[in-house]
């Protein structure tokens, strides 16, 4: 049985006011020339209003999206265990099928060698051997498989840097919080304006 969720939408009037204000603030920021103490105060006021607007948007979005996020997480949690079991079933049975196919393929190749040897010794005619080999190949054809391109990493050290992704969150934690020295990274102090 499904339950309904009432989703609240943002107030259009409030959104229009916010959009108008943000446009005005952007124009003011683009046009201001900070060359005196009064202009600096004006710039700081623009910065404060812009940051207050960002906080408002974040808070407003949270109000609208949190119930949806909560519901999404609950629904996903209900299906997660079942989905994991089905994925595991897929992997296990897939491996077993491929193992069986490998054993059949090895046996068929051995049988084909025996048939070729019988042809070479004259025990079996070429026509009879062809039919026997065809019967053996049918055993392999029973497997429904698909070949897909994939990769296998053989030596991580040789992979060019362009294919590595840097985790800046972990780097910041290690360098700034833990005080570690990481090759290729240095601690800097970035200055930003505050209100």
Query: pTM of whole model > 0.75?
Result: no
pLDDT in tens, the chain (195 residues): 566 767 777 888 988 999 999 999 999 999 999 999 999 999 999 999 999 999 999 988 888 888 888 889 989 999 999 999 999 999 899 999 999 999 999 999 999 999 999 999 999 898 998 998 999 888 888 888 888 888 888 898 888 888 889 899 999 999 999 999 999 999 998 877 777
- Dihedral-angle region of residue 183 (phi above 0 means left; psi in -120 to 50 means alpha; beta otherwise): beta
The beta-carbon contacts of 97-102 under 8 Å, at least 24 apart in sequence, are 97/143, 98/145, 101/140, 101/143, 101/145
Contact predicate 143/101, CB 8 Å:
yes
pLDDT at 113: 93
108 in Cβ contact with 79 (< 8 Å): no
Look at residue 2 in the predicted model and tell me its pLDDT: 63
Query: For residue 174, which of 165, 183, 163 has the smallest C-alpha distance?
Result: 183
Q: Cα–Cα distances in Å, from 96 out to 82, 89, 122, 149, 186?
A: 21, 11, 39, 21, 50
Model pLDDT, residue 190:
84
């Amino acid at each position: 049985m499904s339950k309904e969720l009432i989703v609240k939408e943002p107030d259009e009037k409030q959104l229009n006011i916010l959009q108008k204000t943000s446009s005005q603030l952007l124009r003011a920021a683009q046009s201001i020339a900070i060359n005196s103490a009064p202009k600096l105060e004006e710039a700081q006021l623009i910065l404060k209003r812009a940051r207050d607007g960002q906080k408002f948007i974040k808070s407003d979005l949270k109000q609208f999206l949190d119930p949806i996020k909560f519901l999404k997480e609950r629904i996903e949690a209900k299906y997660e265990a079942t989905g994991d079991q089905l994925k595991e079933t897929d992997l296990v049975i897939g491996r077993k099928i491929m193992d069986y196919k490998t054993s059949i393929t090895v046996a068929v190749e051995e049988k084909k060698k025996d048939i070729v040897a019988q042809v070479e010794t004259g025990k079996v005619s070429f026509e009879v051997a062809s039919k026997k080999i065809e019967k053996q190949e049918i055993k392999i054809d029973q497997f429904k498989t698909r070949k897909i391109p994939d990769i296998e990493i053989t030596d991580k050290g040789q992979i060019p840097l362009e294919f590595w992704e840097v985790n800046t969150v972990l780097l910041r934690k290690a360098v700034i919080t833990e005080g570690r020295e990481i090759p290729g990274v240095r601690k800097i102090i970035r200055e930003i304006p505050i209100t």
